């Protein structure tokens, strides 16, 4: 297990889907930041299931409590412990899961690695684990706004077969949140909703792509050669459940460009050095160049489908399996605040690291 993330702004995540509670400890948050539960709850609400008719109807309220590290409304520089109680879940809905390995879930690998697992609701491998990330990410977002005026915004750019061109630099949080699939383009949004409803009808699921921008970002964040900003962003985002790919700037599409097309020419805009294009995604040599940081995350379709599947049980015997319970045909929109949180956590960590090097 490795439940720590970050160097100077470091989070420790704990908790299972069906344990007593779930939480996170944030260590290294600078002192003097105004902070209350009200800063954290909105992103938790954006993350939780049951927000609309497209997704699972489970109603977890996910109310966060700050247990330490804040005094008289300001952070003290000491660890901030955040806790969300789990609701009493009917674990009987999952009884079958103790005995068989759901395809493309983590049941088998957890069983094989640990020998003993909390199989209720996926245990530690459940997406419920991301509650702590989102709560900690909300602190990181607030810090970024104060440190550098930086805003981290994510949206859905693909659901299954549906995708389209969305200009990252002009996208607004309002347009995103106006869509129940978090796609800022209303036409695309409608198509995505239809794509999800089709999957629901088929007792199936769909995946998609989350795109994320941080803007503005100062020059100088990123620590080559191993903690390059894109490397740390990649690790952060790829650690989110169901994420199978990450790219920054031109990404995989950029491999089809010529150098003369891909290079971002420098110019001076009167205030500072800028680039005319941003194929670099705001990062050159692992360090931010002052342009917006843009990245994308690929999420596979949810593994819990409501069709019969082949699998094996704990004794290795062939069994057939059909999921029971609530049907969540697509979780990509819910992944948006999680991607934002991970991006924000990386950026604030690098802001602190860069600050330290400015000592001479």
264 touches its own copies (CB under 8 A): yes
SS3 188: helix
| Residues 87, 60 contacting (CB under 8 angstroms) | yes
Residue 211 CA, distance from chain mean position: 11
Among 59, 109, 172, 322, binds its own copies (CB under 8 A): 109
Q: Among residues 40, 56, 64, 75, which is the contact residue for its own copies, using CB under 8 A?
A: 75
Strand 293-299 versus strand 287-288 pairing type: unpaired
Instruction: Assess 91 for contact with its own copies (CB under 8 A).
Output: no
110 lies in the site for its own copies, by CB under 8 A: yes
**Taking the alpha carbons of 58, 14, 141, 244 in that order, is the dihedral positive or negative?**
negative
* One residue of 105, 128, 182, 334 binding its own copies per CB under 8 A: 105
Count of chain residues binding its own copies (CB under 8 A)? 161
DSSP string, 286-312: TEE-SSPEEEEEEEPPPS--SS-EEEE
Residues pairing with 294 in the sheet: 213
Least separation in angstroms between residue 292's CB and its own copies is: 15
Q: Kindly report the backbone phi and psi dihedral angles of residue 45, in degrees, each rounded to the nearest multiple of 5, phi listed first.
A: -65, -35
Residue 141 makes contact with its own copies by CB under 8 A: no
d(CA 151, CA 145): 6
Minimum gap (Å) between residue 304 Cβ and its own copies: 8
Instruction: Check if the beta carbon of residue 305 is closer than 8 Å to that of residue 323.
Output: yes
CB of 124 to its own copies, least distance (A): 4
Is residue 327 within 8 Å of 120, Cβ to Cβ?
no
In the range 267-296, which residues lie near its own copies by CB under 8 A? 267-268, 272-273, 275-276, 279-281, 283-290
In the set 152, 236, 338, 341, which binds its own copies (CB under 8 A)?
236
Q: Is 89 near its own copies (CB under 8 A)? A: no
Does the footprint of its own copies cover residue 234 (CB under 8 A)?
A: yes
28 binds its own copies (CB under 8 A): yes
Burial pattern 269-280, b for ≥16 Cβ within 10 A else e, equals eeeeebbeebbb
When the beta carbons of 44 and 156 are compared against its own copies, the nearer one is 156
Range 152-211, binding its own copies (CB under 8 A)? 158, 160-161, 199, 202, 204-209
Alpha-carbon distance 184 to 135, whole Å? 24
Q: Considering the rule CB under 8 A, would residue 258 count as an interface residue with its own copies? A: yes
Q: How far is the CB of 134 from its own copies (least distance, A)?
A: 13
Question: Could you say whether residue 43 binds its own copies (CB under 8 A)?
Answer: no
Distance between CA atoms of 210 and 266, rounded to whole angstroms?
A: 29
Q: Rule CB under 8 A: choose which of 49, 184, 222, 292 binds its own copies.
A: 222
Q: Which of 39, 41, 197, 262 binds its own copies (CB under 8 A)?
A: 262
- Enter the tokens of residue 225: 């050669």
Tell me which of 30, 37, 50, 216 binds its own copies, using CB under 8 A. Answer: 30
The CA R_g of the chain, rounded to the nearest whole Å, is 21
Residue 344 interacts with its own copies (CB under 8 A)?
Answer: no
Interface residue with its own copies, options 35, 46, 48, 69 (CB under 8 A): 69
Residue in 12, 41, 51, 197 binding its own copies, rule: CB under 8 A: 12
Number of Cβ within a 10 Å radius of residue 293: 30
| Stated length of the chain | 360
**Smaller CB separation from its own copies, 71 or 178:** 71
């Amino acid at each position: 297990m490795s439940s720590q993330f970050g160097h100077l702004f470091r989070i420790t995540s704990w908790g299972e889907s069906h344990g007593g509670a779930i939480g996170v400890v944030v260590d290294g948050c600078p002192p003097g930041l105004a902070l209350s539960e009200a800063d954290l709850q909105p992103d938790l609400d954006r993350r939780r299931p049951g927000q609309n008719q497209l997704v699972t109807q489970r109603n977890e309220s996910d109310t966060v409590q700050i247990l330490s590290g804040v005094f008289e409304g300001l952070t003290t520089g000491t660890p901030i412990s955040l806790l969300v109680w789990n609701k009493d879940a009917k674990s009987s809905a999952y009884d079958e899961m103790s005995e068989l390995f759901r395809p493309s879930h983590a049941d088998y690998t957890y069983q094989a690695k640990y020998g003993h697992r909390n199989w209720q609701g996926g245990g530690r491998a459940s997406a419920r684990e991301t509650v702590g990330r989102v709560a900690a990410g909300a602190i990181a977002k607030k810090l970024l706004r104060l440190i550098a005026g930086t805003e981290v915004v994510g949206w859905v750019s693909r659901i299954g077969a549906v995708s389209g061109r969305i200009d990252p630099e002009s996208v607004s949080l309002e347009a995103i949140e106006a869509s129940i699939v978090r796609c800022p383009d209303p036409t695309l949004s409608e198509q995505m909703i239809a794509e999800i409803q089709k999957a629901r009808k088929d007792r199936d699921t769909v995946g998609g792509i989350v795109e994320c921008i941080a803007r503005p970002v100062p020059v100088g964040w990123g620590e080559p050669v191993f903690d390059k900003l894109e490397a740390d962003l990649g690790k952060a985002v790829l650690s989110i459940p169901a994420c199978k790919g990450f790219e920054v700037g031109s990404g995989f599409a950029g491999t089809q460009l010529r150098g003369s097309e891909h290079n971002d020419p420098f110019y001076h805009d009167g205030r500072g050095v800028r680039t005319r294009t941003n194929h670099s995604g705001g990062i050159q040599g692992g360090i931010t160049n002052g342009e917006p940081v843009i990245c994308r995350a690929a999420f596979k379709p949810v593994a819990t489908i409501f069709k019969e599947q082949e699998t094996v049980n704990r004794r290795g015997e062939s069994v057939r399996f059909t999921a029971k319970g609530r049907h969540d045909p697509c979780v990509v929109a819910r992944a948006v605040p999680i991607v934002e949180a991970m991006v924000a956590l990386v950026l604030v960590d690098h802001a602190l690291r860069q600050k330290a090097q400015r000592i001479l």
